């Protein structure tokens, strides 16, 4: 299965946070699964860190690339088709980062690892 991590799922995974569900944890750890972190999530983390709403043990510029590599995750760049795909989404969810992740998941046929069940209303598979 191909998985796209929501930002919180990535942060909880690298922190070994118990907030990450057992099902999500198994899916991310599954050797047969491909796990992606969107560049949009890096953007979201950078904004939240800059606002003081995300505190990490080291700079994002060091933490994220190292953890992505250590975990064997792949980075999913934001393509023009992803950004434009947001325009086709109904107004179910207001968060622009979540909407971009949904567009990426739909276009790239990825299951979205997220606690936010409302995102499933967009027709993407949710793993949680």
User: Residues 36-86: pLDDT tens digits?
Assistant: 999 999 999 999 999 999 999 899 999 999 999 999 999 999 999 999 999
DSSP designation for 3:
E
Question: Which helix (DSSP H) or strand (DSSP E) does residue 75 occupy?
Answer: strand 74-76
Q: What is the CATH number of domain 2-127?
A: 3.40.50.1010
User: What is the pTM for the complete model shown?
Assistant: 0.96
Q: Is 98 exposed, middle or buried (0-12, 13-18, 19+ CB in 10 A)?
A: buried
Rounded average pLDDT over 26-34:
97
User: Each residue of 75-101: pLDDT tens digit?
Assistant: 999 999 999 999 999 999 999 999 999
């Amino acid at each position: 299965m191909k998985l796209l991590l929501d930002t919180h799922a990535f942060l909880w995974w690298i922190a070994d946070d118990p907030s990450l569900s057992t099902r999500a944890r198994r899916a991310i750890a599954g050797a047969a699964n491909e796990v992606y972190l969107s560049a949009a999530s890096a953007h979201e983390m950078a904004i939240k860190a800059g606002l003081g709403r995300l505190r990490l043990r080291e700079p994002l510029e060091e933490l994220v690339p190292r953890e992505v590599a250590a975990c064997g995750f792949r980075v999913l760049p934001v393509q023009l088709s992803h950004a434009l795909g947001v325009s086709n989404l109904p107004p179910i969810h207001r968060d622009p980062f979540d909407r971009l992740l949904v567009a990426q998941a739909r276009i790239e046929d990825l299951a979205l690892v997220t606690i936010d069940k409302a995102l499933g209303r967009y027709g993407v598979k949710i793993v949680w």
